[in-house]
Amino acid sequence: MKNWTKLITLLTVGAALAACSNDNDEAVVAPETEQETTTETTELVDETDDLAVAYQAELDQAQAQFDNEQLDESAGTLSVLLKEDLTEYQAIKVEAEGLLEKVTLAQAEQARQVAGTSSDKTEYQTERSSSVLAEKYLAETGQSIEAATDEELGSWLSAQDKKAEETSSNSETDSEETTETEAEPENKFATDEEAEDYAFNQLIGRLGLSNETYSYFVNKTDDQWVTIEARESMEQDGVEWSNMIGMYRYNLENDSIEKLNSVSGNYENVNKGI
């Protein structure tokens, strides 16, 4: 005859021990799980706080530019900011949209005044606004780009495009002829145009500045630096102007990127775009 009482007792004790064991396991695991959850939440909050600080800094910069009457720069800063996902930052979004509306009205008024007084300078408004292009035009023609008529500027731009195509073709030929010869560090680029293309592609890729409404103006200023200006073409009621997305310079020696702070007048290191 089997001892059912003993068997039941043993089963009961075993179950109790198992329950205790599970409770102990839960007691050990629970704090760890809670800690992991707390860490993840903290990291998410920190990331959110960092974005809030970055977005607010951009908004403050745009306001400072507007206060300094740097309308193109202010509009460009706001344009980039408002392309971000500001769903969780409604206060910043609303303020940025309100400021951009004020800036755009001022820009449109300026553009209308220019169009009304210069009947022969109504085209190429983005090109006329470019500091990089203005320097090139002045150096090659001895005339300011603002004074150039549409016909004069159009002819010069066409010549620049033709020159760039010829240089690119020659560069490809030279490259094919010297594929077996490794270039020395100081001769990393065969031509200025090759250096400009390299700097431009690096900037676009690393900062994500590619946009169908952007115009880019590139100029190798010396052996170390390539200046790259990005502008956004705008149009309202038949009047055109452009926003300054950014004035950058690329260091060919160490591959660093700097962006001009239009308020301070200084170039600042850029790690990534906002």
**Residues in the chain, pLDDT under 50:** 1-22, 24-29, 178-185, 273-274
CA dihedral for 198, 199, 204, 207, sign (positive or negative): positive
pTM of this prediction? Answer: 0.72
Asked if residues 100 and 78 have their Cβ atoms less than 8 Å apart, the reply is yes
SS3 263: coil
Which token pair is 140? Answer: 């090659």
> What pLDDT is stored for residue 274 in this prediction?
43
Q: pLDDT value at position 118?
A: 63
Q: Are 133 and 217 in contact (CB under 8 A)?
A: yes
Using CA atoms, how far apart are residues 29 and 19, in angstroms rounded to an integer?
15
- d(CA 261, CA 256) in angstroms, rounded, equals 16
Cα–Cα distance measured from residue 239 to residue 113, given in angstroms and rounded to the nearest whole number: 10
Q: What is the DSSP string of 139-206?
A: HHHSS-TTT--HHHHHHHHHHHHHHHHHHHHHHHHHHHHTTTSPPPGGGS-SSHHHHHHHHHHHHHHH
DSSP code at position 237: T
Pure H helices in the chain: 4-67, 71-82, 90-117, 125-129, 131-141, 150-177, 192-207
235 pairs with which residues across the strands? 240
Measured in whole angstroms, the distance separating CA 248 from the mean position of its chain's CA atoms is: 10
Is residue 100 within 8 A of residue 75, CB to CB? The reply is: yes
The per-residue pLDDT for 123 is 83
